[in-house]
Structure 1
Amino acid sequence: MRINNVAFVVLTLLTVSQVNAAGFQVNEHSASGLGRAFAGEAAIGDDATSLARNPALMATFDRAQLSVVGTYVAPDVNITGYDDVAPGVYSTTAAKNSAHNVAPAAVVPAMYYIQPINNQWAFGLAMYSNFGTGTEYADDYINNTAAGTTNIATATFNPNLSYRINEQFSIGVGVSAIYSSAELKRSMPDPNSPNAPHINVTDMDGDGINFSWNVGALYEVNDNHRFGISYKHSSKMELEGTFSGKHATTGASVTDNIDGTMDNTLPAILELSGYHKLTNQFAISYSWQYTTWSDFDDIVAHDSEGREVLRKNENFNNSNRYSVGTEYYATESLTLRAGYAYDEQAADSTLSIPDSARQWYTAGMTYKATKSLSFNLAAAFVAGKEVTFTDEVPPESGKDKTFTSEGDAWLYSAQLNYSF
């Protein structure tokens, strides 16, 4: 795959399994947030990772801080195929339509820095991702004309400014340069030699940089009660790359790579959050997140003459995410967390993106080693709902096959925070 060597991509580029959030949204921005299922993220501001959710939270910092995060995603996504003669009835003849462990494990990195300028202004820089997905089927999988390899990755470079209006109100704004890349590979069995390697049908890859903006606001009732709102604007993902395989418009077989483009819109994200410290040791937080997935549309690529060379129909719908979290301040050095979240399904399931509704069960902790140095650890179990769906598998003249997908994931996250 041809990818531009952009320096910050080394730190933030990822390919994330679709099992961990609705559609292919990435929420793994911090270990502190993961511990409470990312509840209250637009209102809490307990470390520099808050930049990923609400730039207005920078106004609460009186010292510069650096946060570095790494999250390991270990998914288990399996596809069960059904007998063509009796749809919905599994038999031994349907085993060839099944696939196991189709979502590879991935590491999700992120880095954040906040620098107060004076009592009113602060500057921050965030490097993370909001979107990514990856499915990889075995080379000899019989349905690889609809499955194969699908990778979409983004990396965001996001400078921000915040301004404290008064003791209660703060606002923040940021701009983003978003590096995006996509890869789609499809193949089919050789009808003349069933045991021979599959024939290439589609091989499309590309990358590009697009731009967006984000805003946020924070209202502090007092030190123990805060409310936050943030908004990330949608952005046009314009990718340029190469294509080979069967041309969808002309029907010709393209053996040499030709120039191709693929355009999609990454959705907007709105988040409302609250945080309430009810006692000296116990606090609750909550969030509602709304993502405009309907902006994404189908996956379509064109050649240099504007003719369609590839199409993968998707049906995305706007989705909600609800989360609630708790924090227990055991000592001055130790904070314990737990959380629960529910992700609505954002897209009709397909072999390439077998989306489903998900429930998150999370736990985490923060240990303050010194006044300046702290560590966060968190783990989460994400349970995906079993979904039965149909997918068109060429070259069978538009004939649909029936599948069931089931997927869970374990997430493990570590984070270091250092204040200057």
Structure 2
Amino acid sequence: MNTTFSRTLLATSTLFISATSIAGGFQVNEHSATGLGRAFAGEAVIADNASVLSRNAAAMTMFDSTSISMGLTMVKPDVSVKDTHYNQLQMNTIIPKLSSSTVNDTNDVAGTEFVPNLYIIQPLNEQWAVGFASYSNFGTGTEFNDDYEASIFGGKTEVKSANIGFSLAYKINDKWSFGAGVDVIYGIGNLYRDLDYKQCNAFGNKCEINKAKALDISATGIGIGGNVGVVYQVNERNRFGLSYKYSPEVEAEGDVDYLENHLNGITSDSVYLPLPDIAEFSGYHLLTDKVAIHYSYQWIGWSAFDSVDINDVNSDQRISVKEYNWKNSYHIAVGTTYYLNKKWILRAGYMFDKTPVDEITSISIPDSDRQWFSTGFTYNWSNQTSVDFGFTYLIGEDVEVSEVQDLHKPGLVPNPSLTATTHANAVLAAIQLSHSF
């Protein structure tokens, strides 16, 4: 896409790109500080600032003046890989075999990241509103040290994305509002793996460790998605929201270097990354003048993420680089808001986040069921300006990983394998500035 539009989009998107996944799979939930403070409970309908645009375009009709929100979320993961047993490929002049060893524990595979966002809502009249959003829905990043002993399973795994959205909403009456939008998703993929093996003499009593580049992908691409949403307002104290996001498969073009391609005379220049659709239902209820409760159920269609593929330029066929075969997942969030006075709003929430990982597990994208414990507050600087803070402590579970690298040489070379235990916790903190004109 060598156009003025694509170059402008690239320049804008890189400011709002994310490589940190804390939700299930590699979904990024960190769209606002207000949402983080309530574990994103009720996020598709509360509409306390313009960040609601990331979840439900229909909620734009609840604004009667131009509104802007911008924020930044810090994500500090604590990811560990321990109790690792590695069956390494051992080559000699007789028969290749596997050599078992224990790999040192590591907890330095995911670094601190910062996830930005920006939202603008512009009412056109009492019925119509338009909006612009820039945030991230997907991203993951793990990188093992160069001396990690099982480099065929570790290496570098990085997926970054930016979502640039343009939306339109229409208010039918005092009860119903509808919205829809177009999402331009810019993605970056970087994958690197070394095939490490022991090269031994014929007797197997003298060996040295060798490495060969097994996979090296650096690619970028743009996909077009979309979203629709509806808001039903029962009365001033009770309302519901429902939204659906369509996510495309992103074809990223760039440098694709795959060991098997060299062995079979194949040339590749693209990698395919399937992304899941997302549906969300939210409710908000103001019980008293000071206390509200809210909740959300979000469904994520992770069954679309069955494998990461590359292309064969000559045959126009796809080759699987890594199988995942994830299943559809969900999260459930509940929260409460306390309107202390005109200056201060307090909030808290809890989320249970179900992992999409099924039978095929991996140390490169460590994932488990997660629990979110969140709190936050808003300080209304004036009638038009507010500052929000959110904080979450996320707790994961131990996952027993069993991983096999298929070398596609049946009967000739045995496949390296690994067993390990992964665990991921995280601390998230966010700040946000909102203003209405």
- 2:107 is aligned to 100
- 2:364 is aligned to 352
The 8 Å contact of residues 86 and 417 in structure 2, kept in 1 or not, is answered as no
- 1:405 is aligned to 422
User: 1-side partners of 2:39 and 2:141: how far apart?
Assistant: 22
Match status 1:362 vs 2:374: yes
- 1:221 is aligned to 234
User: 2-side partners of 1:296 and 1:190: how far apart?
Assistant: 30
User: 2-side partners of 1:186 and 1:83: how far apart?
Assistant: 18
Select the structure of larger CA radius of gyration.
2
The alignment's TM-score, normalised by the length of structure 1, stands at 0.91
- 2:348 is aligned to 338
SS at match of 2:103: helix
Residue of 225, 238, 263 corresponding to 1:212: 225
Residue of 64, 78, 81 corresponding to 2:80: 78
How far 1:199 sits from its partner (Å)?
Answer: 3.3
User: Any residues of structure 2 matched to 1:90-129 within 5 Å, and which?
Assistant: 95-96=102-103, 98-129=105-136
SS at match of 1:239: strand
Unmatched 5+ residue regions in structure 2? 1-5, 88-99, 201-206, 408-412
The 8 Å contact of residues 215 and 231 in structure 1, kept in 2 or not, is answered as yes
Residue of 291, 298, 310 corresponding to 1:301: 310
**Matched residue pairs, number?**
405
Residue of 36, 42, 45 corresponding to 1:43: 45
- Match for 1:15: what amino acid? A
How far 1:164 sits from its partner (Å)?
Answer: 0.6
User: 1-side partners of 2:364 and 2:307: how far apart?
Assistant: 12
How far 1:101 sits from its partner (Å)?
Answer: 2.0
The alignment's TM-score, normalised by the length of structure 2, stands at 0.88
Q: Work out the percentage of aligned pairs sharing the same amino acid.
A: 39
Match status 1:201 vs 2:218: no
SS at match of 1:247: helix
The 8 Å contact of residues 247 and 310 in structure 1, kept in 2 or not, is answered as no
What RMSD over aligned residues (CA atoms) do the two structures have, in Å?
2.2
How far 1:270 sits from its partner (Å)?
Answer: 0.4
- 2:12 is aligned to 8
SS at match of 1:326: strand
User: 2-side partners of 1:4 and 1:81: how far apart?
Assistant: 46
- 2:338 is aligned to 328
- Match for 1:398: what amino acid? N
User: 2-side partners of 1:236 and 1:188: how far apart?
Assistant: 28
- Match for 2:278: what amino acid? I
The 8 Å contact of residues 218 and 228 in structure 1, kept in 2 or not, is answered as yes
Match status 1:246 vs 2:263: no
- 1:69 is aligned to 71
SS at match of 1:8: helix
User: 1-side partners of 2:146 and 2:319: how far apart?
Assistant: 22
How far 1:408 sits from its partner (Å)?
Answer: 0.2
How far 1:333 sits from its partner (Å)?
Answer: 1.1
| Shift in alpha-carbon separation, 1:192–1:94, aligned structure 2, 3 A | closer
User: 1-side partners of 2:124 and 2:284: how far apart?
Assistant: 26
User: 2-side partners of 1:105 and 1:345: how far apart?
Assistant: 22
SS at match of 1:22: coil
Residue of 61, 72, 94 corresponding to 1:59: 61
User: 1-side partners of 2:419 and 2:320: how far apart?
Assistant: 23
Match status 1:383 vs 2:400: no
The 8 Å contact of residues 198 and 208 in structure 2, kept in 1 or not, is answered as no
Unmatched 5+ residue regions in structure 1? 86-92
